[in-house]
Structure 1
Amino acid sequence: MPSKYDAIIIGSGSNGIAAAIRLQEKGLQTAIFEQAATPGGATRTSELTLPGFKHDVGSAILPLGLASPFFRKLPLAQYGLEWVHPEVAYAHPFEDGTAYACYKDLARTAAQLGEDEQAYLKLFGSLLSDWSKIDNDLLGPIGIPDHPLAFMKFGLKAMPSAQMLANHYFKNERTKVFFYGSAAHSTLPLTNIASASFGLVLTTGAHKYNWPFPKGGAGNFTAALLEHYRSLGGELFLNNPVIDVRDLPNAYAYLFDLTPRQLLRIKGLNFNSLYRNRMENYKYGAGVFKMDWALSEPIPFSSEKCRKAGTIHIGFSKEEIEESEKEIHKNNISGTPYVLVAQHSPFDITRAPEGKHTAWAYIHVPNGSTIDYSGVIENQIERAAPGFKDTILARSKMNTFDLQEFDPNLIGGDINGGKQDITQLFTRPIVKLSPYSTPDPRAYICSSSTPPGGGVHGMCGFHAAEKALHDHFKELM
């Protein structure tokens, strides 16, 4: 190990690797230090249930992995990455056995919606046509947008609550429920300001890129990123927890793929008391309770549209989803929660032994909850897929404590690196001109606790690397 690097990255999640690649691309000598034996943060794959059944332990469908302005430019196919594109990006079942499907084809999607067809085309058609103008600004810190008019048009739609936007654009309850399915990824009450933004971004992304996933497991996405990083001359050190920055080799810059609570525990950083106090007030969001199953057959959804979807959103009415997402912030949980389901094996035969299948799901729960919610999850899926329970060969359960043990960045089971409400959506981790820099001129934050927040897109790492380049290596910009 050299005694000095240009930059050191602490943490090998997608943002940490993105930062390292960006700096290495510029000719700097970098190294990643990872506390775990396996790199990737929450983007890893493992046999959680039975031998031969590959489960994504954290992230499972990576809608922003391909949509990321940085990742999609990298030659990851050279390192074995293959994207699987189900015919349906996501589907939303109803209790009568029917469903709505989000296809990549905007018109095909809208054609299902009856009286809401034209409203859907108007809403997402304009966003889709402007997407290439606004995606860089949406997935970055607050600044002067490259295309102010297009960005302002998006902002006017994104600032209301999901409830308000759905009621404004759509007449049919089923269309509103369909939109809620993607908006509820925010992990916020759907009456919260700006909760609509998540539904708009994710659905527009589905029409632009689909919601693909890596063949063989999400861990293959991490593997391809790291192979590219190594090809540029980067180094990775596993089983290297960082307690004191002074134990690391010397470097001009240290980029931390950590949340605020973890960063404040690192010794040797020159943080003043004001900064520490503000960081200690950073808010973490709801957690998740996650399950994986080994199955004897595909999930027997009543709707063929659900059987063709990689992701299924389960919540059978507006009121059911609204109640589910509201209750978790009161330290309660609904008896019929909103459930996110992912199924890979119907489209990727490498995920399970021949003739067998896998499934993955989670619900939002109070941060830090250790209650076993497996029964309510399986009951909800059973409503959309009668006979589902009979297909279960084995199951894996992970509560919020288990998830944090798996990846310390998942504080209390929060998969977004902090609450993404209006107070922290654009100004995370604190209100600051540069959210990536700290009072210590050597230290930067590159985790999902900085803009643009959660998701496997690497843009937090990319923007943090750009800031470090500007501060210490201007000649390379």
Structure 2
Amino acid sequence: MTTAVVVGSGPNGLAAALTLAAEGVRVRVVEASDVLGGGIRSSELTLPGLIHDECSGIHPLGPGSAFAERFDLAGAGLIWRWAPAEFSHPLDGGRGAVAVRSVAATAAGLDDGGRGWQRTFGPLAERFGAISQEFLQPVLHVPRHPLHLARFGAHAGLPGTLLARLLGSPDAQALFIGVAAHAFRPLNTLASSAIGVALTTAAHAFGWPVAEGGSAAIRDAVLVRAAEHGVEFETGRRVTSLDELGSPDLVMLDTAPAAAARIAGDRMPARVRRAYTRYRHGPGAFKVDYAVEGGIPWTHEASRSACTVHLGGTVAEIAAAERDVVAGRMPARPFVLVGQQYLADKTRSAGGVHPVYSYAHVPAGFTGDATEAITAQIERYAPGFRERIRGMHVRSTSDMSRHNENYVAGDIVSGANDPWQLVFRPRAALDPYATGIPGVYLCSAATPPGAGAHGMCGYNAARRALARL
């Protein structure tokens, strides 16, 4: 029987394990932590009864991924829930904008009727099923839908600030730039629209759902399927060398590239080792979870119904903050993402106290305390927020790295999203999952299509490994 060892049990390690096992491979997963799941774990971080997501919290590409459909995760107990609105962007003075599933309804709520929004995202949302099939795999491939991909690429290749201006009104510009900022990179550079275009279109096609009971429910559904196929698990064991794994036919490394190079040692070709050790990581995330009585009192009323709220002000303010972060400077007013998952999933709250998820973009390895900066940004758009806080849990960039070694210096998206690494990650190669060692593959979020709980990096890597067999 063909055997495989998967190192790491994040969403991609689990996806790789299940994909291999479903094809008759005997699979063992080795995890350094005592808890499986990597970025899809949930726990009571603040008060008893409040369920917080420890990293990945909202899943725009989760329901429609080929991995989720191939293994019917819904049939294994995974329930997706949606809030009334997908995301919002409050501005000073109680103004702001909100995105709902309908492109037309979103556009109608924007100044000037949202003509630019409708013109940009209407055609993309109609074809998003085909488009997402293209970008949820390596960029270097023969496209099945070249015209749809070309239309997507025409928008995705633009600087985020330029595409925002093309959308027209200030509220439409702000609504988009908050999503584009998910890239953790300067927003005036080429292709800095790519992640924003993908996630905004996903909001209109699939929504931005959460997993009922917390993101750990995604892990639990995969584990149900893994048990059906006999996958074995070993926790609390850190792998430092391939020699520790015996002689399996396949090894899948759900690790950062530099860690993969350390584990492989001299068995890895020098050219691959150089590429992995030179792989660039992005800025960090400083995370604060709150227990909030009565929820956040946003002055922008529509933000009270949005699962995700982007904070940072105007396009110019957010672009300046992101530029500072990438340059290693901590902005006074950082870009902040707030998650109100409880609006979609009532099981996460306890009475009138709700779990609120937030993180700020900070410089890589930031050693300061961004708690007050995050709280102040929320208070800026929701006066009275401080008085509602009943508990708090803080996770700095160094805490992030200790919590999950793949989050190098607090980089929760597993790599800088500059134009080169958007196309060639983790290195320039026809097979981005191959490590140069026969039978050994990299399957982490440092490989295409990148960060998220969709599991597609592991799914793609496992399919490549099976094809090579």
TM-score by length of structure 1 reads 0.95
> Which of 23, 34, 37 is the matching residue for 2:20?
23
- Unaligned residue ranges in structure 1 (runs of 5+): 473-477
Point out where structure 2 has 5 or more consecutive residues left out of the alignment: none
Q: Is the 8 A contact 1:298 1:346 kept in 2?
A: no
Which residue, out of 148, 151, 154, partners 1:153? 151
Paired with 1:121 and 1:237, the residues of 2 have a C-alpha distance of: 50
Letter in 2 for 1:35: A
Deviation per residue, 1:435-459 (Å, 9 max, x gap):
1001111210000111111111111
Would you say how many aligned residue pairs link Structure 1 and Structure 2? Answer: 468
Q: Please, which of 124, 129, 133 is the counterpart of residue 127 of structure 1? A: 124
1:144 aligns with 2:142: yes
Deviations 1:197-232 (A, max 9, x none): 111100110001110001111111111111111112
SS of the residue 2:271 aligns to: helix
Please show how residues 208-287 of structure 1 align to structure 2 within 5 Å.
208-267=205-264, 270-287=267-284
Q: State, as a whole percentage, how many aligned pairs show the same letter.
A: 36
Task: Report the Cα offset of residue 67 of structure 1.
Answer: 2.9
- Quick one: which amino acid aligns to residue 409 of structure 2? G
Shift of 1:95: 1.0
In the TM superposition, residue 19 of structure 1 has moved relative to its aligned partner by 1.1
**Is the 1:116–1:172 Cα contact (8 Å) retained in structure 2?**
no
Q: Equivalents in 2 of 1:267, 1:127: separation in Å?
A: 42
- Preserved CA contact (<8 Å) 1:95 1:384: yes
CA–CA separation in structure 2 for the residues paired with 1:284 and 1:51: 35
- Quick check: 1:382 aligned with 2:379? yes
Deviation at 1:18, TM superposition (A): 1.0
Equivalent AA in structure 2 for residue 420 of structure 1: N
Q: SS of the counterpart of 1:155?
A: helix
The answer for the alignment partner of 1:342 in structure 2 is 339
For 1:280 and 1:304, how far apart are their aligned partners in 2?
47
**8 Å Cα contact 1:60/1:213 also seen in 2:** yes
Summarize deviations over 1:304-329 as a string: whole Å, max 9, x none: 21111110011211111111110001
- SS of 1:326's partner is helix
Q: Is the 8 A contact 1:134 1:146 kept in 2?
A: no
Q: Distance in 1 between the 2:246 and 2:205 partners? A: 43
Contact 1:88-1:308 at 8 Å conserved across structures: yes
Candidates 98, 102, 118, aligned match of 2:99: 102
Q: Which residue of 2 aligns with 1:332?
A: 329
- Residue 173 of structure 1 is matched in structure 2 by 170
Q: Structure 1, residues 322-373: CA drift from partner, whole Å, max 9, x if none?
A: 1111000111122111110001223323213222111010111111112101
201, 205, 223: which is aligned to 1:204? 201
Change (3 A) 1:321 1:33: same
Tell me the distance in 2 between the aligned counterparts of 1:172 and 1:153: 23
Residue in 2 that maps onto 1:14? 11
RMSD: 1.4
Counterpart CA distance in 2 for 1:368 and 1:240 is 26
Counterpart mapping for 1:32-47 below 5 A: 32-47=29-44
* Counterpart for residue 426 of structure 1: 423
1:365 equivalenced with 2:362 (yes/no): yes
Aligned counterparts of 2:157 and 2:393: Cα–Cα separation in 1: 38
For 2:396 and 2:113, locate their aligned partners in 1 and report how far apart those are by CA, in whole Å: 39
Q: Give the whole-Å Cα distance in 1 for the aligned partners of 2:409 and 2:113.
A: 39
C-alpha distance in 1, partners of 2:213/2:95?
30
**Aligned-partner residue type, residue 75 of structure 2:** Q
| Structure 2 CA distance for aligned equivalents of residues 124 and 64 of structure 1 | 16
Q: How far does the alpha carbon of each residue in 1:110-158 deviate from its partner, in whole angstroms, 9 at most, with x for none?
A: 1012325222111111111221222111111121100111111211111
Paired residues of 1:346 and 1:357 also in contact (CA < 8 A) = no
Q: Is contact 2:210–2:345 with CA below 8 Å preserved after alignment?
A: no
* TM-score with structure 2 setting the length: 0.97
Query: Displacement, 1:269?
Result: 5.9
Q: Which letter maps to 2:454?
A: H
